[in-house]
Chains A and B, each alone.
Chain A
Amino acid sequence: MKSKRISLIHSSGDENGGTFKPQLTSLIDVMTILLVFLIKSFSVEGNLVTQSDNLALPVSGSKVKPDPVLSLEISRNSLIAEGTILAHNSSFVNSDSMVIPELLNWFSDRNKNEVEKSDNKIMIQSDREIEFNIVKRVMYTCSRAGYSDFSILVIEEG
């Protein structure tokens, strides 16, 4: 009798023409929650600037949206420009000179190739755990190369 009852439970659709009706209520609940979450994070513009993979950017309350300008990345180990590793941090962090020669050479090569200069603006993507000593040297070298308008890429808080 027990086995017959179980079979009746599992084949309840057989008497209605052999169709199986799965219980979709919980699935629709999940889909609805997912839909609300995705609509909240929906962005028509998207991000004009992409964060580098190997960086943990600092968090800030700033709401100023970034524009695509020349960008330098300072990871925990190296200084990177347009995907190319220019120098390792250890090579210049204790140097007597404030100028990073590799970066200055990269700027001069870039200017020789007549790449359009974007209004002396430069954006620094720096890891949050980097010491200011490294950032300071990068900024100084940038100013020597003619860049005076700086911005820092940060993760928007909240």
Chain B
Amino acid sequence: MKLESLKAAVLSLLFLGLFLGIWHLATLPKGEAQSAHDEYAKLLGKGTKKSEGFPSLAQMGEAAAAQLKDPLYDRGPNDKGIAIQLGHSLGRVAAGYALAMLFAVPLGFLIGMSPLLHSALNPFIQVLKPISPLAWMPLALYTIKDSSVSGVFVIFICSVWPMLINTAFGVASVRREWLNVARTLEVTPFRKAFAVILPAAAPTILTGMRISIGIAWLVIVAAEMLVGGTGIGYFVWNEWNNLNLTNVIFAILVIGVVGMLLDFAIGRLQKAVTYIE
């Protein structure tokens, strides 16, 4: 077992090395660096440090070091450090996600316990679920009249469905025997919900939450690119405007790492509530 994981780690490193090697070879400077001998070339920025095309590994490292050295700088409303931008994005995700949880889990409980409600609400859920969260953006901007809150709303609307459906499914598939036992013991409905159904459905609910956090993190980047202002999505957009691929790639890496950490956190939570029948 230990040997297996060691082998996997070595292989992972090998892949990484291969990837970086190809990157390095592909971005080697071509020919002599042109010097700015005439005026025209100078106006095109020849001979200066100009971001041209895909960055080399060294440029990447330099940019990452510069960003990470001072992640909390604040030079006005449109130029903030990477940590502040991440903070804004995580804040929006947290707000939208928490709202979605407050809405989806109780409603999912009701739907799961009542087949009537399930049949009645199912058509709505099925129609609303496949709508791209960004399609809500113009409507949200028009009605909510606040771009930051609209971002939160978009997170809410995209994370609500997986949680709702999974909660309903988890609650509906609690084993009959356990419910029967509860009935035999004449526990109150309130206690039945919290002592029997919730623990039994928890792993399924957490699965829904795990799917939701992934979607929410995907969507916030797109939403912030659309609305601008603050956040990691805005950071990507701002650097794209300047055609600064180095910083864009850096931001992509950061988005990936943060997404992984979010998933990992809920994954741990999920493990904690999983039981063996």
The finding on whether chains A and B are genuine partners in a shared complex, rather than unrelated, reads no
B-side interface residues toward A, CB under 8 Å? none
